[in-house]
A and B are shown apart, each in its own frame.
Chain A
Amino acid sequence: MPASRGAEAAHPAVLEFADRLAAAPEAAPAPAPAAQLQLITFRLDAEEFGIPIESVREVTRVGDITRVPRSPRHVRGVTNLRGRILPVLEIRSRLGLEPLDPGPRARIVVVEVQGRLVGLLVDAVAQVQKVAADRVVPPPDEVRSAHTDYLTGVVHLDRRLIILLDLERVLGAGGAPSPAVSAP
């Protein structure tokens, strides 16, 4: 039934996730006097990235993504988010990774930045992670690559390293100064 294709929202995993999002802000201020960050973390290759939960509107499965002719290379395309046309960014190429066709665990993280809704295509969503704000440190040399521009810092947790993304930067270039347009 083709009409149901757009209805990813009904998926139980997403609903559960939405509940968690809804519950999160209430839980946050009560027990934690020290400033806390809540992150949604996701994977790209072996790395774990985090973005502040306040920016995330929802996480959905990857439906049909329509390519937009002559758009910048980091734009994967547009998709139908319940009747709304959502741009989907290939965040991998933004961070210097090779683009990848989405696998079964791939998700679109829908973020709101400066009033705009944008989808980020990620390999897999890991979890919601609370961290104390003072554990965020500047990016160490091993991740200080050419793409440090898009990072605000890193958090070490046990053996994990979460890289914090600067969403405004990731989305900011919006295509304006980006010369990387496909086809001459």
Chain B
Amino acid sequence: MADENAFAELIHEYVAECLPLAERVSDAFLEIERAWHRGGRDAQAIAELKGTLHTLKGNSAMMGLAPMQRLAHLLEDLCALALADEGARGLELAGLLVEGSGLLVDLVRGAAEPGGAAAEAVGGFAGRASEYLAAHPAAPAAALRLDRRRSDRRAEGDAGTIRVDFRRLDTLLEIFGEAMIEQSALPEVHRRLAARVGASPELADLDRVVVALGSTMKRLESALMQTRLLPISTVFGRFNRLVRDLARGEQKQVRLETEGGEMLLDKSILDRLGEPLVHLVTNAVVHGIEREDERLRRGKPPEATVTLRASALADRAVVSISDDGRGLDAARILARAAALGMDLPEGDASAAYAVIFAPGFSTADAVSQVAGRGVGLDAAASAIHALGGAIDVASEPGRGVTFTLTLPLTLAIVRSLIVEVDRERYAVPLSHVAETVRLEPGAVHEINRQGVVMWRGAAIHVADGGEILGSAPERVGGRKYCVVLSAGPRRRAVLVDRLVGHQDVVVKRLDATVGRPDVVSGATILGDGRVACILDAAGIVTQRAVA
């Protein structure tokens, strides 16, 4: 049992170390394939991969992972051939390198679960690669292998860097969260102490200590968060191959460009960003981009471009996926929405396009379905909402579509407004709070049996907190405060009884046992030890009016 655990631990480390290496190799081969496709014959990039391949082979051998070892070995031989024989540098060889390295990525990623389809695919690939090598006996493989040793040393990393299991960082954050909860109880204790003993020098000392502790905790938090950051290129990197394979299947030429890959994001977010991005990128290649002949007819370059772009915006990260395809078909989307009996949001075109994210919008013929897979934009949208983010779409007919994701930089600690509704407390992430307003009598109007308030010159829908949250629904007008929530361009006001204050809350996930409440994104523990639910502000805003 202990051995099994130790082995699992080793495999875990193997994946952590080798997956980025395999991905780097795979990306480089894709790049080479593209260069050779354009008629280039340069092999410098291949020479630079020798060390990496050798490390992969060595690490796989050490773990007894024979299929990976074999693949890395075959790739080495293919590289040796490419270096030795300029005549071999063509699409056939590049195709083998891309295929083999792609398999290697799959195998390494799935190293914890042996067997599987990828392991079987190795056999087929190995057969073809060996045949190809046999047909090109020029490769002085031994010569290549000799001079590898030197480059291996570089893989060890900087002297000042250590690798830490991410779960340890999670534990650290959890403990920090507990400290924060305890800390948040201090002001209340201080207040009560002050009420009992009145002004005293010791109390002033205590006050200073509490304030100093607060600022130290802030610094600790930011230092802790730094340890959890990874560049978003670790996610972008996976898409080179996806785009290539999809484009091939669709018989399109598509180039993937990435910008801002160095932007840092919390690993917990990166881990959950891959899947929605896969939906969106797939959607762009399969549906957004026209066939080559159609592109030529419209005077566009035959090769289409999909761009993944990341940038930081104050305390949010913005990730966009653009294509230069045909754009959304507004007429079809509106027809589909009408057929489904959906209310179309009023406002500009982008608001109307937002219906494509609605659950159930997915159609066989429209924007949102990957042939045969039945996954839609709604899945991507709900994954982004679950991250506390927002998703928006912009489209220019004939010019392309851009999806914009706005994400929190971290999931772990969220600055929140604590509100009270029917004597229950809730945390509302401040990133989604546009404003809080004290309600004047008569401020809530009723239009079409829906509450409306005027806010900054516009009428926005208002919902009663008790109604949304299923506590005693109060007659609209009985509550004292109005919280204006925002998600992207959309707004919605929620009526609450009391604004308790601002607080950094440690986000904890709710166990699946409590179902999947669509208005709650998690829970936190407040200073008094009670649990408060965290409202899914984006979900509440985008939800259609509660009937």
Contact = CB atoms under 8 A, between A and B. Distances in A.
Contact of B514 (A1, A87, A117, A184): A87
A160 to B, nearest CB: 30
B244 to A, nearest CB: 38
Given A67-B471, A69-B519, A83 B424 contact: no
Contact of B515 (A66, A75, A79, A84): A75
A174 B515 contact: yes
Contacts of A67: 424, 470-471
A116 interface: yes
Contacts of A118: 511, 513
Contacts of B469: 69-70
Given A69-B519, A71-B517, A183 B470 contact: yes
B224 to A, nearest CB: 17
B525 A70 contact: no
- Closest 7 pairs between A and B when the two form their complex, measured CB to CB: A175-B515, A5-B529, A183-B470, A69-B469, A2-B528, A66-B531, A70-B517
Contacts of B185: 2-3
A73 B15 CA distance: 43
Given A68-B510, A69-B533, A85 B525 contact: yes
Contacts of A6: 525, 529
A118 to B, nearest CB: 5
A3 B529 contact: yes
B468, B512, B513, B518 — which one has the most chain A CB atoms within 10 A of its CB? B513
B118 to A, nearest CB: 27
B513 A87 contact: yes
Given A6-B529, A69-B470, A174 B181 contact: no
Interface string B392-426: 00000000000000000000000000000000100
Interface in B518-536: 518-520, 523, 525, 527-533
A89 interface: yes
B529 A71 contact: no
A60 B291 CA distance: 64
Contacts of B85: none
Interface residues of B, number: 36
Contacts of B511: 85, 87, 116-118
Contacts of A70: 469-470, 515, 517-520
A71 to B, nearest CB: 5
Contact of A85 (B188, B470, B519, B523): B523
A111 B177 CA distance: 25
Contacts of B470: 67, 69-70, 182-183
A2 B515 contact: no
B547 A184 contact: yes
Interface in A129-173: 171
Contacts of B547: 184
Interface in A64-106: 64, 66-72, 75, 77-80, 83-85, 87, 89
B445 interface: no
A80 B529 contact: yes
A68 B519 CA distance: 10
5 contacts: A66-B523, A70-B470, A70-B518, A72-B514, A85-B508
